[in-house]
Structure 1
Amino acid sequence: MRRLLLVSALAAALCGPAAAQAPDVEALASAVDAKVQAWRRDIHQHPELGNREVRTAKLVADHLRALGFEDVRTGIATTGVTAVLRGGKPGPRIAVRADMDALPVTERNDLPFASKATSTFRGETVGVMHACGHDAHTGILMGVAEALASMKAELPGEILFIFQPAEEGPPDGEDGGADEMLKQGIFERFKPEAVFGLHVFSTLNAGTVGWRSGPAMAASDRFNIVVKGRQTHGSRPWGGVDPIVAAADIIGTTQTIVSRRQNISKQPVVVSYGAIKGGIRYNIIPDSVELVGTIRTFDEGMRQAVFADLKNLSEHVAAAHGATVVAQVPDTKGNPVTVNHPALTARMVPSLETAVGAENVVEMDLNMGAEDFSYYAREVPGFFFFVGATPKGQDALKAPSNHSPEFFLDETALKVGTRTMLQVLLDYQRME
């Protein structure tokens, strides 16, 4: 009996203090849940396009300063904010990122905090909406910042908080996004050993968290094709060269790049058109038509082949109509593939399971969406996961998708996001 008591006492001595030191993630998150919801609603009601997130950036910076964060910097990559939380105990240096920009989308949700904002995009007046959920990302990370600041003395290591503008891409002619944040030295001033991020996602129900090891999200590239014809009266099409008909033929024929020229049994490929602009009046055939779109790939060889095929095909189809094209493929620097570091992913998936239960954590298929988080994850090991946004009981595969004017966030996703990110960050710091 005496020996049993001694063994029990030794076990308590070894295990008890460690268990006592484990932070109570539920308590930390519960303390900020109401604030996270309020921040998200406020940001949702006041959305700002990329490189224009002035109000949002001020809200974030003021909050971080009030929490006592160090080295709070603003104006990075135009409107980005970074700050450092230094824990009271030794430990690793890591980074965590949220994006702040909205989209040129007119909201169609009937919410008391729905966006009524408008702005100018590509020379046109547009509605502005957080149709991708970046308002949730910002609110969640503000909550995570407050929760971790409340236990600063017990926190191991240091955490760089990144609030990034222009994830959806900067305005034409401007630089921005993750690549520009890195160019302006955020990882030179603070050298993290790992970086973390999350994204709310319509194809998962609220309460569910998704992950994928290795390549997770596609490379994304934009293209711009201007089809040049010769203007004429609509009643005399033979008097000119119709760029609208040529453009329509280009759109249809270029779909064969995916269906007939790429081995999609190897990796998926997407070529999509997002805008067509040409003409002004019903009875005038215009001089030109502009086509813009996106290319999504996972393989660099396939990516370069699509670039060449799209340019070559558009030029020859236009020539068959007597038209010409100016094809910029790609027209800007695109985002590389988002890759989750396999060892880091294996290490952090148990944290997701701890936060929401293993039954609510799913491994996801390749995602043709893109993320400029990929730039951070090229510099240091990265882990990027997905938080379900569609209400339980609704078919998530049929729900309005991210970027839709009807994209809807079940606000329980905010609680899930706060808890999972806290668990991931704390577990990483404590396991080092």
Structure 2
Amino acid sequence: MKRRMINSLLGVVLVMVVVFCVPLALFEKRTIESAAQDQAGAEAVRLLGIVENRIAAGEPVNGSVLRGQVTDGLYAEVRLPGREVIRIGTPPTGGSPLRAVETGGRGESVLVDHSRQDVDHEIGTMLLMLGVVALLAVQAAVALAVWQANRLARPLNDLAETAERLGSGDPRPRDRRYGAPELDRVAEVLDSSAERIARMLTAERRLAADASHQLRTPLTALSMRLEEIIATEDPETVKEEAAIALGQVERLTDVVQRLLTNQRDPRTGSAVIFDLDEVVKQQAEEWRPALRGAGRHLVIEGLHGLEAVGTPGAVAQVLATLIENSLMHGDGTVVVSTRIRGSSAVVEVEDQGPGVPPELGARVFERTVSGRNSTGIGLAVARDLAEADGGRLELLSQRPPVFALFLGRPVEER
């Protein structure tokens, strides 16, 4: 591209030089010749006037008198009737001279020659000056073309590098502008694409992290049910555990569907009125075996018969996250209590463990923030699930740890 730009600009300049210099050279050549011819004519008229005046005054007319009257570089001949020709100056050489002849009323005449060699020398000097100007113009054009080509090539190379970085998975926008509207437009589009790609990659990584965390809990519960089935030989127990496992599979399917739906549109919700006791009881049954295995207990307290507005699967997932956190990071009995606060139905999960470190506080809901060397994703995902249906998840107490899930209630019950 640089070579094309240089060649194009150089070609344009050469054409302009030819179009401008050739007519100018012809015009200047004619001007120089015309000026030389006019000089010879004017000299002949002046010299004839001097001769006529001296003849009229009766003064002598000879070479010694007229020699000082002729401009240097010109050759003149004065012819008087009956006398020898008076020659002044050196006859010109180097081609036919530019000649002017003037004749007086008494038969006298004056011939003046302007040397062709002098005219040709002046024309050559003019052509040399034009050539130098043309050469300087070409050199300036080449320098300008090289500068302009480099000026445009650098942004293009930079844009190509940006596009290559985007293709290699580095979506950081560079926010560079180059002072050219077209190039700046391309840079803006690339930066916008980089931001979109960055958001898409962030969303994909977040989906992967959320999926790994949200699927782990129901898979763990399902694994415990299958272990119960393997450990028992009682057909009734097997049937009961299989039914529970089937319900967990359905909830697992719901988790997957909810993940995909939230990935397409995080605001999408399927809030309904549901029985809060049923969700709390179901989660208690799923996590009691794991707590018993750790020598701990889970109890349910508070009001019964509460109805709430939300997505049962999402609420179950939030409660599962809170109970799992109590199992992993807490101690003692896990208490799940339900109550009413204002227009909200509240589910609290509390244990007797060391609680949330003081330096963390409410930051436990931020992604990657954890005080127990875990992923730091669970509570962040739980808060997102709660807010998706218009609820909220809060930390009421750091020690002992008390997490509260606030859900809307049906209007008729308020």
TM-score range, shorter chain: under 0.3
Q: TM-score of the superposition, structure 2-length normalised?
A: 0.21
The structure richer in strand per residue is 1
The structure richer in helix per residue is 2
> Which entry has the higher C-alpha Rg, 1 or 2?
2
